[in-house]
Amino acid sequence: MMTKEDLLKIYQENEYVLIKFGASWCGPCKAMEPVLKEVAEARPDVKVIELDVDSEEEMVQMFRVRSVPTIFWIKEGVTLDKYVGGASKEQLLSFMK
């Protein structure tokens, strides 16, 4: 499980972070897995994290996640934007500008 301290360390080590909240029972979440790998390859400057809402309750509450998939675009620990729903590689890369 990820703690707030773990997340703080990630923020300190990475200027850009993309966090996807999903679930094993969520079809669109599973469809996003290869898309996130492609995004990570296209943007090596971004730390991509995938969190499961069923096992990361503290993070779900902290980010106020209400549906899955939900993706947060973060720079230096500050949330710049949030995207709810499935997305293509192109949509995510555009979202991350």
CA gap 72, 83 in Å, rounded: 6
pLDDT band at 97 (very low <50, low <70, confident <90, very high): confident
Using one digit for the tens of pLDDT, what is the confidence trace for 22-67? Answer: 999 999 999 999 999 999 999 999 999 999 999 999 999 999 999 9
Domains of the chain: 4-83 (3.40.30.10)
29 is catalytic: yes
Kindly state the DSSP code that residue 7 receives in the 8-state scheme: H
Asked if 66 is an active-site residue, the reply is no
Catalytically annotated residue among 7, 18, 29, 87: 29
Determine the Cα–Cα distance for residues 3 and 23; give it in Å rounded to an integer: 18
Q: What's the pLDDT score for residue 41?
A: 95
Q: Which residues contact 97 (CB under 8 A, 6 or more apart)?
A: none
2, 10, 23, 26: the active-site residue = 26
